[in-house]
Structure 1
């Protein structure tokens, strides 16, 4: 399977419509890829909280339509990063979307863990309640977003639901770049799963972004890693390796505590 992680520059200088068209164009350029991943809140700005009230919208709209068309043209499974989803009751969620090669919506995931310690995202957005997996590419993918990476219990729930790979969309800050790489590897090692972690580069709302998108195999080895600038990280992987790793080193079988949530 060929994966392409699109590490966008997180600058918000261009109008939203231009940013959407540019991102969709980069997706369309990945013809031949089976899985394409965009970062967290790439269209709205993960750190531009002051503009969220204006840019949040129902999930079905121009941004999702552009992603649908790009997925169809590319013929890929597209993790479209996450969007600011406004519900009819006024609540706003950080919602990840996964589209199939036909452009149909395969899964959504509302971010459970909101960053900010009672400020920023934690103060403005509602918390998701449900974990999400999607069957695609001959495997089961578990979905997580940025700050979620710090909470291993989420990933254990995903494993209990059959996940063999995790797709993580993020806008991780540069000042905690080492945590980003370390945590991605930890989630791969402890859950014996592939990790596809796609971040943003550049500077956004005064925050320098880490870049460093990476793909980690079920042994915790980094098989591909981006630099700090905008780039497309391409890699060939065998998702089927998970079964062999788990059978040959059956650490998950020795767990004594089950997931705390159903």
Structure 2
């Protein structure tokens, strides 16, 4: 648009402004050189020149463009040729213009109803999660374990001795998948083997954690969040009873499965990403 844009504003706003500032809004506007000739207040209507109205959205549009430029510097997406604009803000011609000017080498696709595209996608995904074959991890996922104590890197406060007189360090974050790592729908990423630290243990508890850091050291780090536990009942005795643990990403859930090596017995737990 090139002409003036008119907004209807409740008179209560003008009254409230006068009460707090001691002057009329229309008089206050005239004191600002930036808006003196581009904004006027008539009755209950605010009339704004098109260039001034566009300026209200400049920071938001430029921030989106800069964020996209940052994303396209990453190796995983630097060769992606197409941008699909969805969501309510994508309906803005101003945002569309900024993105097209900022990304002249990209093909810009804008659906007929950008605001509804997200909702439609969510409905389709809810009915058939396999429509998204691969996703990138938003967090680093792992379980809490113990490792041999290293006095050079482990704090003394986490040191303890197990039933076999091994000196161990507690609260270690054992990573299964890393933030930004591609994971396929319904596929397990890695299988880790664990053994109990107590000979008389009747069960092993696998506390599952998420972190927004690529390589957290301890589950007690500030970046870590406890998602829940998977408790696995053990047979026999001793500390050589190995249990394999693997994580599978399926839609909005993280599935953690444990399997006892000697018996093949399995148990799993699910953690809802939307919870």
Q: Structure 1 or 2: larger helix share? A: 1
Which protein is bigger by CA-based radius of gyration? 2
- Is TM more than 0.5 here? no
Q: Structure 1 or 2: larger strand share? A: 2
TM-score, normalised to structure 2, is 0.23
TM-score, normalised to structure 1, is 0.23
Q: Which has the higher contact order (CA 8 A, sep 6+)?
A: 1
